[in-house]
Amino acid sequence: MQLALSTWQEVEDHLRDHEGIIVPIGSVEQHGPNGLIGTDHLCAEFVAQGVGDRIGCMVAPTLTYGMSQHHLGFTGSATLRPSTLMLVVRDVVQSLAVHGFRRFFFINGHGGNVATVTAGFDELYALKSLGLADPELRCRMVFWSGPRAKAVADDLYKGVNGSHATAAEVSLAQYYKQDAIKHAQMTPKVAPTAPQFFEAADYRKRFPDGRIGSDPSQSTPDHGKRLYEAAVEDMVEAYNAFLAY
């Protein structure tokens, strides 16, 4: 059940028996030569909507922008500052909590969001401690690919899935948006890796085409279908466990 496609009366009816909501969150950043700039938020959105369709839970509109400062060396990437993203998370959660939502399950598509969104949750919990927020409010964030999806990716890509512009996330986005599939030559075939990087200029220097350790030339919509089905199973299980905890 998508919040954006519901009326206020439908949401009010839903809240009589449910207190949870899924919030997809991602980023707007480069994903290598054949990866869409929206890959992270598209993957999170696709899986979140699949969970909503499967079990009838509420799914909020996707938070498309994330903390992507390190990708600004690549044209088209856009970012929120950590302080801005924390406020966005806080305001969205507090707004929905006004109406009776108590359990906020963020399905994430971008590793760069983790520290900031977790800090945003801690800001909300600090308000709880001061008696300024609902004492029953709880938040959790997980990456869209749980153990089933990771096993599929390991089977498909055998050591070259990588850590950014991964073959798995490109495949999932291709399955979701089949009219936007891109093709590109990649040299080297498997992108380099490095133990760390710093600001955007350093990232661009170390990883000239944007990929880290990946070979997304192997990505296909058929792979994406397998990943999607596994990821939805993962997230249904994780969401139900969150509600029950």
Report mean pLDDT in 10-residue bins for the chain, 245 residues: 98 98 98 98 98 98 98 98 97 96 98 97 91 89 98 98 98 98 97 94 97 98 98 98 96
Could you list the residue range(s) of the whole structural domain that residue 235 is in? 3-244
* Per-residue pLDDT, 129: 83
What single-letter amino acid sits at 159?
A: G
How far are the Cα atoms of 93, 131, 149 from residue 65, in angstroms, in the given order? 16, 30, 24
117's CB contacts (< 8 A; 6+ apart) are 25, 85, 86, 89, 106, 108, 141
Going by C-alpha positions, the residue among 224, 242, 170, 228 that lies closest to residue 54 is 228
Q: What is the CATH number of the domain that holds 112?
A: 3.40.50.10310
Angle formed at CA 116 by CA 236 and CA 170, multiple of 5 degrees: 55
What single-letter amino acid sits at 50?
A: G
How far are the Cα atoms of 16, 70, 154, 185 from residue 205, in angstroms, in the given order? 53, 12, 28, 19
* Per-residue pLDDT, 237: 98
Hey, what's the torsion of the CAs at 219, 225, 226, 230, to 10 degrees? Answer: 120
Are 32 and 166 in contact by the 8 Å Cβ rule? The answer is: no
What's the token pair of residue 40? Answer: 């992270």
Alpha carbon 114 to its chain's center: 10
Total structural domains within the chain = 1
* Per-residue pLDDT, 58: 98
* Per-residue pLDDT, 25: 98
Taking residue 19's Cβ as centre, other Cβ atoms within 10 Å add up to 18
* Per-residue pLDDT, 135: 87
